[in-house]
């Protein structure tokens, strides 16, 4: 089971790098790629945590999740998934 989980974590990491690269090429900005990449890296970390859980690995996973949430709050992206931004007022 250890080899399968390690391969899955590596695959998720590679898919995250690919997805972040696609987002960066499509939007031509780096800032939107960071949340995509961190989500995939958190997923890979959680897959690795499923292998042999320890207090250290759990603390690292919690720290990664908190860091992701704090970065989202600081950037002003703390909205629930599926919600839209309020419409902007027309200029003029």
* Closest listed residue to residue 11, CA positions, set 36, 54, 48: 48
57 in a domain, yes or no?
Answer: yes
pLDDT tens for the chain, 92 residues: list them: 688 988 999 999 999 999 999 999 999 988 888 888 888 988 888 888 888 778 887 887 888 888 878 877 777 755 555 555 566 667 76
19 in a domain, yes or no?
Answer: yes
28 in a domain, yes or no?
Answer: yes
The residue with tokens 């989500």 is: 39
34 in a domain, yes or no?
Answer: yes
92 in a domain, yes or no?
Answer: no
85 in a domain, yes or no?
Answer: no
Do the beta carbons of residue 44 and residue 9 sit within 8 Å?
Answer: yes
* Closest listed residue to residue 38, CA positions, set 1, 63, 3: 63
84 in a domain, yes or no?
Answer: no
Domain range for 16 is 2-75
88 in a domain, yes or no?
Answer: no
Overall number of domains in the chain: 1
**What is the per-residue pLDDT for 74?**
79
Q: What is the CA radius of gyration of the chain?
A: 17
């Amino acid at each position: 089971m250890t080899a399968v989980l390690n391969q899955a974590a590596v695959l998720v990491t590679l898919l995250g790098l690919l997805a972040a690269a696609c987002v960066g090429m499509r939007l031509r900005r780096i800032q939107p790629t960071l949340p995509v990449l961190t989500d995939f890296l958190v997923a890979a970390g959680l897959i690795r945590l499923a292998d042999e859980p320890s207090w250290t690995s759990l603390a690292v996973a919690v720290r990664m999740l908190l860091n992701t949430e704090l970065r989202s709050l600081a950037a002003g992206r703390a909205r629930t998934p599926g919600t839209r931004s309020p419409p902007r007022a027309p200029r003029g």
